[in-house]
Structure 1
């Protein structure tokens, strides 16, 4: 799978023997592939999603993580975030200060539907877990309201998954889970533990 995706991927960065390549399936499923010569070093799964937040001052740290703030229209900080970033290899060449729309994809590890909502209830949270607990994991806990759901199938493998747009504390994320794990519908209130991958298209 990775070998086939590598041959079809777009190369977004090259530094000597090290390259970063992005493969996107028609379903939106995506792999970020880091290579060194002919060897595949890192493969990060994610999803092609529309921006739902504004990221300010992303900083690369040990472990391949990016730490940043998410801000609102008044440039007020909503939350801190720790994530993998598709364009991590391009950060060094970007002209500071960096503040740009970002898509935030959460690959759900544990997702529970806790109720239903006709609007956005108060008290929604987005909390980075890994980096701020002296870990190198790009993980977060969030609660949110599902605003849209799409069922997708990966063309390469036939694997079904759900891509749900979720309103959390002041911004939107795209939550991806295997099909039916759990079944999601617009208006569901969800509690999520997941792995976070961001993308800042303007860095390319």
Structure 2
């Protein structure tokens, strides 16, 4: 099972390597929110690999890996819950609910001050902890699912199970680590996600039907305006 960091080419095995990586990211990160001693900063590598850093003074308290991706969904009325997560609905262009979602949100720190209700185009990134290619699609595939398994758990978590069809595949690499990863655009039930996996784990191609268990991070760019 791939770690969240491995899915974006930032896998490390020693605590010292992790600390060095976070320190380097912190020095080149963009600050998107500051409230007293607490700050939220986003570092983005040329490959698209991204770290969200929550700091308190000089200490980095939380590190969340994700990927810079184009919007492929519409998020409606995200609500912050305990544990730094967000519950929200994903809707279609007619404001009809497709599914719920439990996720990390890049702009969580900006949510409380936003004009309500909050809705808008969002990117949904799935870090593929477990991914299997189950077949090939010659056309539309019926029965695609997106199940926010962490939304219904006793302890809410930003995890989901989905099936989808790979629309496009890009191979990326992080220069500082030399690690390669795959960023795939995937059509699931009513919206698109960007799926990130370590290169070749598994090998993905357009038209593949995939079954995924993964960690979910969303971005709602309208909150930064």
Shared topology, TM-score over 0.5? yes
Q: Would you say 1:87 and 2:84 are equivalent positions?
A: no
Cα distance in 2 for residues equivalent to 1:147 and 1:80: 23
Give yes or no for the alignment of 1:125 onto 2:141: no
Question: Is the aligned partner of 1:56 residue 2:67?
Answer: no
Task: Work out the number of aligned pairs and report it.
Answer: 204
Deviations 1:149-187 (A, max 9, x none): 000001221110000000000000000000000000000
Q: How do 1:95-110 residues align onto structure 2 when only pairs under 5 Å count?
A: 95-110=115-130
SS of 2:115's equivalent in the other structure is coil
Would you tell me which structure has more strand in proportion to its own residues?
A: 1
Partner of 1:121, secondary structure, is coil
For the 8 Å contact 2:102–2:156, the answer to whether it is kept is no
Q: Which of these residues, 32, 35, 38, is aligned with residue 12 of structure 1?
A: 32
TM-score of the superposed pair, with normalisation by structure 2: 0.90
The residue matched to 2:152 in structure 1 has which SS?
helix
Where do 5+ consecutive residues of structure 2 fail to align?
1-20
Shift of 1:133: 1.2
Using the alignment, how far apart are the partners of 2:93 and 2:208 within structure 1?
A: 26
Quick one: distance in 2 between partners of 1:39 and 1:196?
A: 25
CA distance in structure 2 between the partners assigned to 1:41 and 1:114 by the alignment: 39
Once the two structures are superposed, the pairs formed by residues 1-204 of structure 1 within 5 Å of their partners are 1-204=21-224
Deviating beyond 2 angstroms after TM superposition, the runs of 4 or more aligned structure 1 residues are none
What's the TM-score, normalizing by structure 1? 0.99
Write the distance in 1 (CA, Å) between the matches of 2:84 and 2:172.
Answer: 29
The answer to whether the 8 A contact 1:147-1:187 is kept is: yes
Q: CA deviation at 1:135?
A: 1.9
Shift of the alpha carbon at 1:119? 1.9
